[in-house]
Amino acid sequence: MSGWFSALRAIVGREALRFLHQRGRFLSALVRPLVWLVVFAAGFRAALGLSIIPPYQTYITYEVYIVPGLCGMIQLFNGMQSSLSLVYDREMGSMRLLMTSPLPRWWLLFCKLTAGVAVSILQVYAFLAIAAGFGIVLPPLGYLWAFPALVLSGLMLGALGLFISSTVRQLENFAGVMNFVIFPMFFLSTALYPLWKMAESSRLLRDICALNPFTHAVELIRFALYESLNGWALLWVASGFLVFFLLALWGYDPARSRPGRD
């Protein structure tokens, strides 16, 4: 077992060093949600007129409502960026070297996921700290409750990115695939508006949002920030992680990457 944890430590440490050397990645991860929080929230609040927000049916500002969705945005983008590094590692040959390790393939991929989740949680808490500086303060214990929710949602979104990276053969193609996945998942979710508000516009779009795994990741974080557990969202996110991780294992099966099998 010591070899397993040595691999985990090495992979997480490598990802941490890569993150520290890419300061622009950290800044971009914060600038994107802060723009939504400070600039776009005013327009959305005026357009949507949100004041009574489930699940607690109490008055909260629109800025407070979208904070969990912006936390999910950080994790979604980070999951895709971590997967981009996997595509790069595969082109450079280091991914192939990692996969030839005597350790189980599922454990090596899980280590890569864990490294990405650790980085994303650091980014989320940095964003929450800056949001608190703007006066958007959540229940104190909610920040602790949110940690396991962020771990699970990060694993699910990271596993999705891991599966996508297994299907992309060239680094140049990954950016287009990222946009095709990220923006529909984000906008067709409860990150910016609740389902009942979406239903007022279109029942079909409301149903699509309800089936979107990212919606349940956001709701899991949202409830946790208010010291509560959304069991339905927990089930969806846990199931989504399992499905995406199994698909990633299939995608990184060495038998599929042999010459003549692509």
Q: What is the DSSP annotation of 50-66?
A: --EETTTTEE--HHHHH
Are 232 and 89 in contact by the 8 Å Cβ rule? The answer is: no
pLDDT, one tens digit per residue, over 32-56 is: 788 777 777 665 655 555 554 554 4
Q: What is the rounded CA–CA span in Å between residue 155 and residue 157?
A: 6
**Residue 260 falls within a domain, yes or no?**
no
**Residue 259 falls within a domain, yes or no?**
no
According to the model, what pLDDT value does residue 224 have? 94
**Residue 262 falls within a domain, yes or no?**
no
According to the model, what pLDDT value does residue 222 have? 92
Q: Tell me which range, 50-64, 112-126, 184-198, is most confidently predicted by mean pLDDT.
A: 112-126
**What is the span of the domain harbouring residue 61?**
2-254
**Residue 29 falls within a domain, yes or no?**
yes
Instruction: Provide the number of structural domains found in the chain.
Output: 1
pLDDT category at 245 given cuts 50, 70, 90 is very high
Mean pLDDT score of the chain: 79
**Residue 65 falls within a domain, yes or no?**
yes
pLDDT, one tens digit per residue, over 180-217 is: 888 889 888 988 888 877 777 788 888 999 999 999 99
Higher pLDDT, 229 or 260: 229
Higher pLDDT, 162 or 40: 162
Whole-angstrom distance between the N-terminal and C-terminal Cα of the chain? 34
**Residue 188 falls within a domain, yes or no?**
yes
Q: How far from 49 is each of 42, 152, 228, 259, CA to CA, in Å?
A: 10, 32, 25, 57
The mean pLDDT value for 15-24 works out to 68
